[in-house]
Structure 1
Amino acid sequence: MESCLSNAVTRKACETSRGATDEAQVHSNSIETSTLEARFETVKKAGENAKNHSPSPKIQKVIFLLRDQEDFKKYYEPRVVSLGPIHHGKEKYKLGEKYKLVLTYDFVNGSGKEIKDLYKKIEENIKELKECFEEEVTKKYDDEALAWLLFVDGCAILQYIYCATEDRFKQLNIKTDSVTFGQQDLFLLENQLPYRLLKWLMGLSKMEKELRVSIETFVAHHCMVPDDQQLKQQQTKGERGNTFCSEEKLIEQIISMDEEPVHLLDHLRTKLLGKAQLESYMIRKGKAVQDWQSYRNIQELKAAGIRLKRSDNSCLRNIRFSKQILLFGHLYLPPIIVDDSTRPKFLNLIAYEMCLDFENDFGITSYISFLDSLIDEASDVKMLRKARILHNLLGSDEEVAQLFNKIGNDLVPNPYLYLNVKSQIQGFYDCKCTTWMAQFIHDHFSSPWTFLAFCGVLLGLGLTAAQTWYAVKSSRSGP
């Protein structure tokens, strides 16, 4: 009987075990099927998302490829004031928060509107404003908190820019050092506000015209262009005979802008590059690109007979090469100011061009890469200074050379943007006849004294030849 009981227990155990195994296998198959279906759906959604991308880039964090840089915090994170949701609430920006409230009060006071009326505009459109940001950076804020944050920051930035152009910070008891460091914070990628937010707030203020002009003036001032070049551009854009472009003319230019900027950093980029058709710089299928160059720097170009010339305007795309008489070539480059703000501006502009949802021609990246190919050492910077192309307000020429060499590391420029210029330079550089002639002139006529000595030698040889000819002629005509 014990044997029968044992067999029954064993059989039941086996059936139970087999049943559990079958159930587990069915469950496993169900999980696998569900997982595969989810994976298929993920692929499908990825394809749909790629097709239905946003028409304009969203405000977001700097791409992960740049976040492991040694000086990331120094050049990509705000120093005095945070704007927008990415860095909001951090302890080190407490003073900036106090300044923002002061500036917001000043903006509201000068707008001619009640604060609740200004805020209501932002509150009613918070859904649209929220879509201007990448979802990750706004997920910890509810609509009310985000609306208030954007309202204060929008009013503050408009009043800051107005005070900067009108020199009114002393009236608000805001220190000069805070003003200076704050200017750099306005052009950081992670510190941007939607331009439509600024546009709505300006539109509600009785000072709309003054605020619009102040933005254009402020951005133009930060375009890293020499003052004489700005003056020349203003004279060109303004009416003939006027020294500066009139306020009415500037308003017309603002209104006639084809596209609204995404934010202030985008506005700065457009000012630097000008407007160009993106399609003209897109990669052409089947066309080979030779991105190799045998010259290393400006010194080698000079030895080959290529001289630097300053372009007639400051658009960074305005780089061209022309072959001149007497076997010389001229490379035209736009003028630029280099100071403490140059590196963070260019780094954040490059980071903006690297945003995955920003379709662009990599104009800033390509310009920096091209300039880096010309600058190898301090002597190259000196040549740019002497040609009045580069205005060095940073320090030594060696510091400027290192700056562009560091910014130029690991860049992926548009290979077609300066393709013609590079090809022309390389073709001129490869021509042995022009190179030898230029090298001869460079070696023997590099200073006025050597040229005068050469002229003296020629004059001496001429006089000797004349004297010899006269002596021979006299001897033949003698008795």
Structure 2
Amino acid sequence: MQGREQLDRQWVIDVVNGNVQLNQEEEAEEWTHRCIYKIPSYLHDFHKGSFTPRLVSLGPLHHGSPHLQPMEHHKRRALLHFLDRSKHSADVYLVALEAVERKLRACYEWPDELPRMEIPEFLNMLLLDGCFLLELHRTTIDKDTSGYADNDPVFGPNRADFFADNKTEDLLLLENQIPLLVLQTLLDPLGKSPDAAEAHKVAYELYWSDECNSTDIKGMHPLHVYQMTTPWCNFPEIEEGLRNPEPYHKKVPSATALLDAGVKFQVSPSDAKIDISFDDGVLKLPYLVITPSEGTFLLNVMAFEQLHVGMDNHVSSFVNLMDDLIDTAKDVQLLVDSGIIENRMESDQQVAELFNRVTKGMAFFENAKLKGLRTRLIRHCKRRRNLWRARFVNTHLRDPWTVIALLAAGLLLCLTLIQTVYSVLSYIK
């Protein structure tokens, strides 16, 4: 703390002496490139371990962490294999990275407690991390393991299961990213055919493990590419003509409460986007596969949406909606039975806890594309006739024997009425 106070005091002295001045152009340029952020400490406290890599560090924010040092050896091996296949020396790549060093450094939010890295150290780190990702892509996606031993635990064809299961989750962490400009530079160090598409392709395929055919992906780092291409992030069109929408902070009733109000649940016809609709009492939601790593992905993408200026809040809004719909294991079971959720966790309770947990500490604001759906769901449950009709159906029409008994009672009542009418007519005559 004393060192921090001394630095602050010295900074104020430098300002007074005119040694520190405002440079608006430089400041604006810095925000232009900023895209990799340090997660606020309170979110780290709420979600312990969800923002910290377990196996490999990428970039400066976790560089040097003691528990990640074993992977540094494999990074160095990756660099040697990369250079062995390349037509260039390491100096060529370092010179190319140095040409864009200011842009690369500006991509990161440097917390006060993280010492600023000197240029050679910074470039060496990015060279190692970038080559590691490119070799990982070559050996896992392209299936080209030439040069590596069959039993190589990281890059070989029979790699260790532990690494295979954990590497993707580490690549999803917001603090554990490198700019795609690094990959683009390493793929074309001489700048003969500058094209960002190949770097985006590598980032996409590392996550999805299938070929990327799109040339429209323009991500800033691998997590951003994943965020842009995941089905969680494509929304329907904005609903027009909505009058007096319900406040965004007002909770949508849970799935079981909606069922009690007569709402039916179906899977959306499209599995390529968040295709959500509510018409004629039917709520359609996208098909979701919930795995143990889903919480990590959601937390990091939501943090990115909320820390990066101008970013769409699609995932945050959709997760907030799902948190409203899912209060208990019964809500999860209802969505599982409707074919909306495929539960790959140990229990429905764990899925409920996942959605209830990931929203903790996050900031939520209105998403115009969900405004109409939220409003109509809330108002549907306010109408008493919907509740009465649903209660009648749930009480009397679910059990076939109850339906038969109800029909029999109705038939008996009709026969009784007919007999009464005939008796009255006979008496009158």
Alignment TM-score, normalising by the size of structure 1: 0.70
For 2:306 and 2:185, the matched residues in 1 are separated by: 28
- Shift, 1:210, TM fit: 8.3
For 1:218 and 1:456, the matched residues in 2 are separated by: 63
Q: Residue 164 of structure 2 is aligned with which of 157, 167, 179?
A: 179
Deviation string, structure 1 residues 432-458 (Cα, Å, up to 9, x no partner): 112211111111122444345445555
Deviation string, structure 1 residues 267-286 (Cα, Å, up to 9, x no partner): 122123546799x89xxxxx
For 2:379 and 2:28, the matched residues in 1 are separated by: 42
Structure 2 match to 1:54: 31
Q: Residue 229 of structure 2 is aligned with which of 266, 271, 294?
A: 271
- Shift, 1:301, TM fit: 0.4
Higher CA-based Rg: 1
Structure 2 match to 1:104: 79
Q: Residue 394 of structure 1 is aligned with which of 337, 341, 345?
A: 345
Structure 1 match to 2:130: 154
Correspondence 1:84 to 2:59: yes
Q: Residue 300 of structure 1 is aligned with which of 232, 244, 257?
A: 257
Structure 2 match to 1:445: 397
Question: Relative to 1, partners in 2 of residues 1:447 and 1:110: Cα closer, same or farther, differing over 3 Å?
Answer: farther
SS at match of 1:67: helix
For 1:203 and 1:271, the matched residues in 2 are separated by: 25
SS at match of 1:182: helix
> Residues 59 and 132 of structure 1 are in contact (CA less than 8 Å); yes or no, is this contact kept in structure 2?
yes
For 2:388 and 2:17, the matched residues in 1 are separated by: 65
Structure 2 match to 1:334: 286
- Shift, 1:198, TM fit: 1.4
- Shift, 1:420, TM fit: 0.9
5+ residue gaps in structure 1?
Answer: 1-33, 222-244, 282-286
- Shift, 1:359, TM fit: 2.3
Correspondence 1:354 to 2:306: yes
- Shift, 1:143, TM fit: 1.1
Correspondence 1:220 to 2:220: no
SS at match of 2:32: coil
SS at match of 1:55: helix
Structure 2 match to 1:6: none
> Residues 307 and 330 of structure 1 are in contact (CA less than 8 Å); yes or no, is this contact kept in structure 2?
yes
Structure 2 match to 1:122: 97
- Shift, 1:334, TM fit: 1.6
Deviation string, structure 1 residues 88-124 (Cα, Å, up to 9, x no partner): 1222112211222233334444555544433432233
SS at match of 2:61: coil
- Shift, 1:310, TM fit: 1.3
Deviation string, structure 1 residues 282-323 (Cα, Å, up to 9, x no partner): xxxxx886235476411110010111121233466432211x
Question: Relative to 1, partners in 2 of residues 1:291 and 1:126: Cα closer, same or farther, differing over 3 Å?
Answer: closer
Output the amino acid matched with 1:346.
Answer: L
For 2:205 and 2:186, the matched residues in 1 are separated by: 18
Question: Relative to 1, partners in 2 of residues 1:47 and 1:121: Cα closer, same or farther, differing over 3 Å?
Answer: closer
- Shift, 1:465, TM fit: 7.5
For 2:301 and 2:410, the matched residues in 1 are separated by: 56
- Shift, 1:388, TM fit: 1.6
- Shift, 1:46, TM fit: 10
> Residues 308 and 332 of structure 1 are in contact (CA less than 8 Å); yes or no, is this contact kept in structure 2?
yes
Q: Which has the higher helix share?
A: 1
Identity of matched residues, %: 22
> Residues 363 and 414 of structure 1 are in contact (CA less than 8 Å); yes or no, is this contact kept in structure 2?
no
- Shift, 1:411, TM fit: 2.9
> Residues 38 and 111 of structure 2 are in contact (CA less than 8 Å); yes or no, is this contact kept in structure 1?
no
Residue correspondences, number: 394
SS at match of 2:45: coil
- Shift, 1:85, TM fit: 1.0
> Residues 63 and 351 of structure 1 are in contact (CA less than 8 Å); yes or no, is this contact kept in structure 2?
no
SS at match of 1:354: helix
SS at match of 1:85: coil
Correspondence 1:321 to 2:278: yes
- Shift, 1:349, TM fit: 1.3
Structure 1 match to 2:386: 434
Structure 2 match to 1:201: 186
For 1:380 and 1:433, the matched residues in 2 are separated by: 23
SS at match of 1:188: coil
SS at match of 1:89: coil
Question: Relative to 1, partners in 2 of residues 1:294 and 1:99: Cα closer, same or farther, differing over 3 Å?
Answer: closer
Question: Relative to 1, partners in 2 of residues 1:383 and 1:351: Cα closer, same or farther, differing over 3 Å?
Answer: same
For 1:295 and 1:350, the matched residues in 2 are separated by: 20
- Shift, 1:339, TM fit: 1.2
Structure 1 match to 2:8: none
> Residues 195 and 264 of structure 1 are in contact (CA less than 8 Å); yes or no, is this contact kept in structure 2?
yes
